[in-house]
Amino acid sequence: MASPANLLRLCLRPSRRLPNLGASAARQFAHRRPLSTTQWRPAPTPKSPDDEASEKAVDDELEKAFKNPGEYFNSLISDESVSDEERRLAQRMLEDWNKVPPAEQQDIEQLAQDVTKEAAQLRRPVFVKRDSFWHVDEPDQDLITDEVGEDDFEEDDIMAMAHAKLEEHREFREYARIAVWEMPLLSKMAKPFEPPTEAEVLRFRYTTYMGEFHPADRKVVVEFCPKDLPDLSEAQQLKLKKLAGSRYNPERDIIKMSCERFEHQAQNKRYLGDLVNKLIETAKDPTDMFEDIPLDTRHHKFKPQIKFPKEWYLTEERRKELEGQRKQALLLDGQKRTEGALIDGVEVIQHAMLHAKPVETVPVLRRGQRGRR
């Protein structure tokens, strides 16, 4: 019963002879929030002087009520303009108030006074100086700090990087969840692999970027072997290869063409299909079979297939062969040694030096000068 709600009801009783109270009550209630800590802001709409007066009156009354409830209730009881019901309510509230121990009453009154005093600053209307440039002189309307202990870290939060890491972990868990619970269900959509039949001669390659739009996903590449094309004779196949030019790989015997001229994959694929048909048609055309033009493979570098020579493998036979050769060589050496036919260069030189004839020194005659004997 002794609730602030009841108290407010009394303050804002309809029996007070105040004009437009009902109309402005809601508005005022919205504007005047007694225990609010948010800065009061003037409403953009202009108020009539009646409204302002009524607001001020209500304000005063509320102040009185909360500061000294006992006196207010007594005043209400003794007031004649108050209705019976309201008087009874006031009576009841007075009884409740008196039940409260006086220390607590003082506390409550003090609290109300403190709050009002605290909020008085905020509730003071701030008038904007219209001459200041960009309202630089305006105090910061959102600043409600006393700047003491504001930046203290209460050990209750983590850095943005840590939040991001947690978010990442959540992402991993999301995908792990999908992998464990949803991906096995994909097996239901699996189709058995059917290799391409003989009739499927063209092999197309498409590109997808998994949902993104990318300029390269319109390219289509087709590969085929001229031998697989139906009803082409050898000469016609050769003509086809010559027509293909550098699109023909002679080592793999495949013609590979691509198209990205058009905007859609389907268009490019259609173009390639038409192109292949045109090629086949031209290849079958007997007007000019290009017999005198040789197939040009200069665009392709053939990889030399190097195999280890069979003769160089060291098999048992080869080993035996080499052993035999070496044995024969040794025998030949031995034979020559016994014959004395093994020539040793050093010995030969020494022998020659020993048996060399001494060189006769011939005095060199100087070419005489003219006229001198």
| Site of interaction with another protein (CB under 8 A) | 294, 296, 298, 326, 329-330, 332-333, 342-346, 348-349, 352, 366-367, 369
Please, what is the minimum distance in Å from the beta carbon of residue 300 to another protein?
13
Please, what is the minimum distance in Å from the beta carbon of residue 345 to another protein?
4
Cα 260 from Cα 216, distance rounded (Å): 8
Our CB check for another protein shows the closer of 5 and 353 to be 353
Our CB check for another protein shows the closer of 191 and 355 to be 355
Candidates 160, 15, 174; CA nearest to 86 is 15
Cβ–Cβ under 8 Å, residues 96 and 10: no
Our CB check for another protein shows the closer of 188 and 367 to be 367
Query: In this structure, what token pair is assigned to residue 143?
Result: 């600043």
Q: What is the largest CA-CA distance in the chain?
A: 180
Our CB check for another protein shows the closer of 179 and 349 to be 349
Query: In this structure, what token pair is assigned to residue 236?
Result: 């016609």
Please, what is the minimum distance in Å from the beta carbon of residue 279 to another protein?
23
Question: Which residue carries 């048909």 as its tokens?
Answer: 277
Distances in Å between the alpha carbon of 301 and those of 8, 246, 293? 98, 12, 20
Count Cβ neighbours within 10 Å for each residue of 284-306 and write b for 16 or more, e otherwise: eeeeeeeeeeeeeeeeeeeeeee
Please, what is the minimum distance in Å from the beta carbon of residue 301 to another protein?
15
Our CB check for another protein shows the closer of 43 and 332 to be 332
Please, what is the minimum distance in Å from the beta carbon of residue 352 to another protein?
4
